[in-house]
Structure formats: structure tokens, C-alpha cells
Chains A and B, each alone.
Chain A
Amino acid sequence: MSNIHKSYDVIVVGAGHAGCEAALVAARLGFKTAIFTINLDSIANMPCNPNIGGTGKGHLVREIDALGGEMGRCADKTLIQSKTLNTAKGPAVFSLRAQIDRRAYQSEMKYALEIQDNLHLCQAEIVELVIEDKKIKGVRTHIGSFFPAKTVILTTGTYLKSKIIIGDVSLDAGPDGLLPANRLSESLKNHGIGLVRFKTGSPARLNRRSIDFTNMIEQKGDEPIIPFSFENEDKDMQREQISCFLLYSNEHTHKIVGDNLHRSALYGGGIEGIGPRYCPSFEDKIVKFADKDRHQIFIEPTGSNTEEVYLQGFSTSMPEDVQHAMIKSLPGFENAQIMRYAYAIEYDCINPMDLELSLEFKDIKGLYAAGQINGSSGYEEAAAQGLIAGINAVLSIKGQKPIILDRSQAYIGVLIDDLVTKGTNEPYRMMTSRAEYRLHLRQDNADARLTPLGYKLGLISEQRYQRFVKKQKAIKDEIERLRKKTVPPSDRVKQFLDKYKSTSISTGIKLYNLLKRPEIRYRTLKEIDDQMPELSAVIAEEVEISIKYEGYISKQMQQIEQFKRMENKTFPEDMDYEEIPGLRIEAKQKLIKQKPRSLGQASRISGVSPADISVLVIYLNAKARRGKKNE
């Protein structure tokens, strides 16, 4: 007889980056939550790259933070190097990226979970979902206990039936020597949930002491360190930073790979899963980009109290002996000591098109999925989905409408809409080029975009919200001040313009207009503006971006307005596509299967043409008329 536990509001299956955010947010909103993991010591593990942020991903972290999520705060506490990428390429793509002390991150996150009220951490493998009448009832553990739950969030990452492949050796194992979850897949299948195999890979880790850095290019962090979290200030962030190093592969390395291609799991046919294009193994690079005589490789630290380093750019599925030879061929690696070999990993994931935009399964009430199980890749992508799934699980219990961020509000919206509406046939990585409204979705204004929502949901404290309001006011005030203030064509101003190679003026000019010139920076205006207030770096940045790029930003806002008109045209729940005359059969089938939420979402479904959209609009209009007549 199996043990029946007390009931939970929300049960989270898996304690990776998605699971942690999901569990924390549900518990913070006051709902009884339990989070399960196969191994409590692996909470919030970073089995691959030891960094958080980067292009598109740094944006996600800021957005998670603006909605009260944990990732940004935790990264700020544990980062060992920080950089802003793309500083010369424009405000839309400024991206924070930090190297993280991975063990410290894990214990910080575990502690955050432990001290959270309403949250129960539990080490157990969930092997079965209990579903009745298309409604989730609870989960069963590997030792047969039953945990009843109102909602369940699947955040299983890469652990479902995961297989590690090194050359011709294939093992049933999760990453980092952890156990795979072999039984849950069957349960999902039994409930009619379709699964596909995805694959990804991870490079080798080495002992830093065995590497000669003499001929490598050192890459230091930026000073001062800029925090991810809007809660932290620059002054909270000061610490010793650890460098990364850049080196290059050479012809010798490439020859070794070429000679041994048949032994690669990837090319030898050992892997059936679909791998990501943006994350090719090193053998992939050699084959696809044969004309390149060298490839970049980065050495990244994995913590402050460890000598283990990560070899970015050198992921492979070659057997041990070939990996050995490949690494030894790199300059400075002659005596390198490999601590963990590179591997490829294969795992089960669901088809995200089976989900609503709320991340709830279309056909199973109360069951949600977030993170790599949905076909995404990356810690940040996982955390973002976890947060949204957690919020929406709670909202559904409360009988409220789910939170759905659209593509013009947040990268989180782009991420979920892409996955759910278009699906993916490889692990999905966020990129800034996926966002149509990139200039609006900046990392600097993530709080302006999302904090009011976080506050409304109860995820942002009153104190933090008041600080946010004050910050927004300071930005507005300063923009207004610059708009009003004129400087005369005095000698001082002329000298200033000369100094920055800017066109001279003959009449007075508004500081606002001066700042629009590409060569004039906000900070330098101080030289001719004695009244410039002392503003924090973040406020100064937003003032500058808002003014400098005003024309482009307002153009983008117009585009967003158009987009919103399609997005705000939502379909009624009982939309019967069968009865709509004029829809093409293919479109009808796709629409019935996908049940889009709005006209905008329908227009992004492949196989639905503009003509079909016209028909839908006419239908909606006719229906609205009918409704009005009946009133």
C-alpha cells in the first residue's frame, strides 16, 4: 500500500533553473508548493557553460528579475566576472554576461528555496503523473508515494531518458554523473503526450594548473561590475574578478578531428537526436567550415575555489583518446589534465506546440511544462519559462486568467510564443535577432516594461516598487530638463563641440538636441551643463538612450501598435473553425489543432495564409454583430 501524502497546490518536478523559479514564485504567492529532485545536491546546477547572460539571455535575466524572479539576484551574489557585450553596437544589443561560481550559485539557490515559506524541498524521482478526466491529480514517486496536487509543473530539463555519449560509448545517465529519469517518459506517453529526442553537448573541463597561459589572450571583466538585478546597486557588486582566456585551435587539431570523424558519435551515427545549429560540436565546425584554419576557444573559470575550467568552443562527442589528442594539440595544453571529458547528451522533450501560451498543456488541465523539456536550451530560457509557469499555475488555482507576455513586451514573450506557436526542431536558444521589437526590449528598461506587472501580481515588494517609481520619475524629469535647457554659442560650448568633433553652432541649442548627435554623450554634457544632477549610471543610461534614439524608438512603438491590434483581437473560447466558410482545409486543421489565442498568434502559425486571416477577421466581425443584435 503506497503512502499518500498531504495535498499541494503546486508540485514542481525537477529543481533546475526552471523548477527553482517556478517553485519560488508559487510559494511566494502564498501557495503550498513542493519541489522534487533526484538529488538535492544538484539544485540549480549548471552542467554546461559556467555563465549567465549574454545576448538575448542577459535580457531574459533582467526580465525575470523585473518580475521578482531569483536568477538575477543569485547571479549577482555569485558572479566572478562581469562584462557588457556589444557596447559599440547599439543600445538594443547591450548585453550583460557574467561568469558564475557554479557551486556557490547552487548553494545560494538551494538556500533561497530552503528559507522560503510554503515551500517543501524533497529528494525523490517522480515516475508517474496521475491524471483523471484530463485533469492532473498528483504525482507518484519512485518509492510509490502519492502526492496529490492541484497543479503540476514539469521541469525535467535534460533528464528524461537521458543518454550520455562519448565516442562509441553510450550510457544511461544524466549530466554531471547524475541519475537519469527513466520512468517518467513512459507515464507521459501513456497520457498521450508526444515526445521527441533532442541532443546537445558539453565540452571538457580541465585543471587550470596544468595549462600554460603564456601565449593566450587574457579577457578581464569590466569595472565597475553592473548588477543583473534592479535591486542591487553598483556599489554592492565590487569584488575581485577572475579572467577568461582566448586561444585558437590549429591545423594539427583539425587533422586529428578529420582523421577520426568516423569515431565521432555525431558522424558515426551514434546519436539520433536533433542537435542545435548554434551549438555545433567541434567536429561539426571542422566539417561545415572547412575553409577556416582556426577556431576560437575560450577558457572560462567555473568558480573561485576550484581549479576546474571550462573549454568553451570545444564541445565534442569523440572518444576519450581522440579528445585527449585534440586537447594536447592546443597551444599551452601540452600537459593538460582532463578532469571531465566532453560528451553529447540525448533526452526526451515534449512538443511545445501541445502547450497553451500559459505553458499549460492544452489537453490536460493543471499540468504545465517549462524549460528544456519544452525544447529550449539555456539556463535563462529555462528560468524564464519556469517563472511564467509558476505564476500561471497559481493564477489558475485562483480562477484567474493567465499572464501572457506578448512579443512586444518581453523576450520572455518572444521565447514562449516562438516555442508554442511555431514549435522547434532543435534546442531553442534566445537571440536578439528573434525579437521583432528589439529596440524596445532592451535590458536597461526591463523594469519599466515589467515591474508594474510584477508589483500587481504581488511579486515586487512595496519598497522596491516605490524605488522603481522614483527612478522612472528621475528619468522623466531629466529628459524634460534637457528638453528645456538651451546652451548659447559661447566659447565654452564651442570648445566643447570642437573637442568632440561636433558641428559648431551659431545660435543657442537645446541640450536635448545636442545629445541626439552620435558623437555627444550624456556624461560629457556635464562639461557645459553646470546644473546636471548627480544621477546613477542606470538612470543616466536610460536618459541617454531615450533621447539619442528617440526617432527609432518612436518608429518601433508605431510598429508595436500595429502588432498589438492583431494581438488584441482574441478568439472566443468556443471558436468553431469547422463552421467558418472560406477557410482553407490546411488552415482549418492547423487552427483546430493549435487553438491560437488571438488573430496575431494565428497569423504566425505556419500554414495559415493572409487570406485565411482575412476570412477569420470577417467571421469575427460577423459574430460580433450577431452578438450585438441579440443583446
Chain B
Amino acid sequence: MDDGEPLSIFSLIDKGDNMVSENNQQFETIAAVSTAIGNAGISIIRISGAAAFHITSTIFKGMGSFLEYPSHTINYGKIVDPDSDEIIDEVLVSKMESPKTYTTEDIVEINCHGGYVTAKRILDLLFRRGARPAEAGEFTKRAFLNGRIDLVQAEAIMDLIGAITEKSSTVAVTQLEGRLSQKLNSIRKKLIEILAEIEVNLDYPEYDFEEVTIGKCVNIINENIVELEGLIESFDYGKVLREGINIAIIGKPNAGKSSLLNRLSGKNRAIVTDIPGTTRDVIEEYVNIRGIPINLLDTAGLRQATDEVEKIGVEKALEVMTSADLILFVLDAQTGFEKKDKDILQNVSEVRDKTIFVVNKTDKTDEQRLKEIHDIVPGVIEISVLEDSRIDVLEKAIQDYVNKTEIDTQNQVIITNARHKKLLIDTVDSLKSALFAADGGMTLDLISMDIKEAAERIGNITGHEISEEIVMNIFERFCIGK
């Protein structure tokens, strides 16, 4: 959860104050993935702080109570979402009591399976239970600030922190030169314009400017709220990009969907039999194809189900299809293009532009069958899961598709940084409070206070201070003076 932002000044100041005071006051509990994000088979999530044990105990189910485990032990159990009782993963959890730990605080380390996506889900749970994302280098800083590290090391870390902030500010600049900053700056500019209008009325009361009307302010504020809310929503979209795309594998029963899924994930997860309809539930698998994080969704074979259990599976499959980012439609070269395939094709007609057609079992067919399929579905990718043949061609197709959509998303303004999201939500709060004040008949100096706060919050993202800008805006737009 390294979001690349420099530490907030206040948290730093607090830490400094704590450090010089005798009582070692507890910091907030933080959590982050501490292994490198990538293809590792195991991810380690580290949680540090006074509430680390408590938070973990609410999501970890093992033998007996987590809180009673002795310090410096490794324990087996499951991570369970307490709200839905869903099992997220089987894990090994290390418990280390303060002060003999890296940060000198209570630390928990959760070793979970798979790559980023599982780790991310567990992290989200921890955040929901009260931990906050650790900032860049924060575990090390805590170690240093809590006196775990001596002065020589501290000096070295200072260099490092300097380097981190330098780098992150470069990243911030690159990002902010883009459309997001343009958008935010334009919202900020509008707010500063209203502020200038209010302020000139307050600071030059003897001049007869057009009295700033509350109604006009309200309209502009409302427009800005709509824009900001759009940006806040885009965070969820940005999340898809960060956390991977969902791919649904569909096709008639026994076309080889599950074996394809297993091939792609390299594991034997879904149940594979020769009997049609043995895969009833949508199965998620988190895989990494050519560096792209992907959630693979297997579906029950799509056919007119008679049996009730099966029916539920089919409905679910249809649902998954519409929500998936990409669909792999698997055809069977052995049976050729059948009516069942035609039915499914109808189902996918609406989502055809996000569908990749695959024909499996090319080892069990002849040229004629294949040609027929090619005629019906041009551009279909031939594979054989059994012979492990041409899987790379399919992977390339998936990669190309994702790259293509990535380009699309670049034409939209999205936010991807949790801190930015928080600031934008706060900005909307300030603006709503301005509207509330205007509605309640409050005076301009108070309404101005809320709008100023909103502009400042956006300025915290774009790195601008506002007061001089308001003054400049006043002088540019209004004719005042002796």
C-alpha cells in the first residue's frame, strides 16, 4: 500500500513530539503488503501498532483465541470476512509482541497465498477494521522514531526518506501535469473566482461591484460538487486498473473451460470431469498474465438448465458475463459449432466487443471442422489445453485487449490515489457545508470560510496555496483603489 505520498507533516510532528516526550504514546495502527508486489507465490502483510492484535483477532479464525497466542509464534488459520463469513484465504500468521519487534510496536504478519489480489482483499479487511494504510517507508520511520535504530542508521534513513520524497514528488508532478491536474485546477479556479467575488465585496465595501449573489455562488458550488463526485467515483474505476481485470470463461458444458482456467492459473482448482455441468459455481482465480493482474471467473456451462441447482449456476454465469471486463468464449473443436454454441453466442451478442473466441481441443479434430468454426467465428484462436499448445497466443490476445482498454481509460480523468480520494471527499464536505450556510442565511464571511477550505483541500492535491491567488484575482477583475 505504498501510495508514494510523502508523510503528512502533522503525523511527523506528532511522532517527533512523542519521541521527545517520556511516555511512548501509541501511534495509529498501520498495515501494508511488505513483500514486493508481483508474481510471488506468497505475500506477507505486516500490521504494526497498538491495535494490531485486536484487529487481526477479528478476521483470523484458528485454533483458540488469537489474542491468547504466545508472542513470537507462527499460527495456522483462515482469514474470514466477519461481515459475510466468506473465507478469503488459508494463512500463516506471526504474532510478535512489543517491544522486541522491528518497529518496537505490536506486529502481526499474515502470510497469504497468491499475488496481489488476495493480499489486497485482506488489506481491505484490515482497513475496514481500523488499520490505516502505511505510508512510504513508514515501518522504518517508526523503527527510527521509536528508538529502535541508532543515530548512524537514522542519518542513513534520512537520506533514504529524502530520496523517497524526491522521487514521489517527481511522480506527483508527472501525474499532475496531466488531465487530473487540469481538471482539479479548473475546479479550483472556479472556486477562487467566487472567493474573489465574495472577498472584494468584503474588503472593498464602499465600491459598487455587482453584489455577489448567494444564488450565483450556490449554482457554481453545485456544479463543482457534481464534477468532484464524478472524480470520486472514478476512484473505483481506477481500482479495476490497479487490482486487475475480471475475465469470465464461458462456453457450453465440457468445452474445456475449467481446464483452460487451470492451465492459465497453473493450479488444479476447479473440478474437472468429463460429465457436463460439474462446475456449478463461479470460481475465482487470481492470476498474473504477462504482468497484468487478472481475476479468472469460471462459470457453469451455459445451457438450458433443468435441474434447480444447475439453474442457479447458469443465472450466476449470465450475471458474471455482464459484469466481467473480458469474456473468453470457449468452443469445442471436437464437437464443432453446435446449436448450444449458437445459443450462447446469442447471449454474448451484446458484449461481443469484449469477447475473445477460443477453440479448444484442436488435437481432437480435423481441418474441415476447424474451417467451419473459422467461417462462423472469424479470428477465433486455436488452442489445445491438453497439448499445451498455442496458449501463448491466447495470453498475447488478452494482453493486447487490456492494453487497448488501458488506452481508453487514459482519455478519462480518473483518480487512483486513496489520499486524493479522501481529500476530494473532504472538499465536497466543505462545499456542502457552504451550501448549508448559504441556505441557513449565514453571512458571506462564513460562507467564504467553507469555500476557502474546499479550495485549500484541492490545493493540497495540486500543491497550491490560495490566499495570494485570491488577492491577485481581486485586483485583476475588480476596479478598486484611491
Q: Which residues of A contact B (CB under 8 A)?
A: 48-49, 55-56, 85-86, 88-93, 95, 201-203, 276-280, 284-285, 288-289, 292, 295-296, 298, 312-313, 315, 422, 431-434, 436, 438-439, 518-519, 549, 552, 555-556, 562, 565-566, 569, 580-584, 599, 603, 609-611, 613-615, 617-622, 624-626, 628-629
Contact = CB atoms under 8 A, between A and B. Distances in A.
Interface in B398-444: 440-444
Contacts of A549: 446
Nearest to A294: B208
A433 B161 contact: no
Contacts of A519: 441
B158 A277 contact: no
Contact of B9 (A88, A280, A566, A624): A566
B445 A433 contact: no
A556 B449 contact: yes
B16 A620 contact: yes
A582 B444 contact: no
28 contacts: A55-B203, A90-B443, A90-B446, A92-B445, A279-B481, A289-B479, A296-B207, A312-B482, A431-B203, A432-B202, A555-B449, A562-B10, A565-B10, A569-B13, A581-B158, A582-B158, A582-B162, A599-B9, A609-B463, A610-B6, A611-B165, A611-B168, A617-B12, A621-B145, A622-B151, A622-B155, A624-B20, A625-B151
Given A89-B445, A433-B474, 4 more contacts: A93-B445, A280-B480, A315-B482, A617-B9
Contacts of A85: 205-206
B12 to A, nearest CB: 4
Interface in B80-101: none
B142 interface: no
Contacts of B443: 88-91
Chain B: interface size category: 35 or more
A614 B202 contact: no
Nearest to A611: B165
A622 B201 CA distance: 48
Given A48-B482, A624-B19, A615 B162 contact: yes
A90 B445 contact: yes
Nearest to A55: B203
Given A278-B475, A439-B449, A610 B155 contact: no
A315 B468 CA distance: 25
Nearest to B460: A610
Contacts of A431: 199, 203, 471
Most chain B CB within 10 A, of A279, A312, A569, A581, is at A581
Interface string B443-470: 1111001000000000000010001101
Nearest to A288: B479
B313 to A, nearest CB: 53
B147 A625 contact: yes
Given A562-B10, A581-B159, A624 B16 contact: yes
B163 interface: yes
Nearest to A278: B481
B212 to A, nearest CB: 10
Contact of B481 (A88, A280, A436, A603): A280
Contacts of B71: none
A474 to B, nearest CB: 25
Interface in B11-37: 12-13, 15-16, 19-20
B467 A614 contact: no
Nearest to B442: A518
B467 A433 contact: yes
A626 B19 CA distance: 11
Contact of B205 (A89, A569, A603): A89
A582 B159 contact: yes
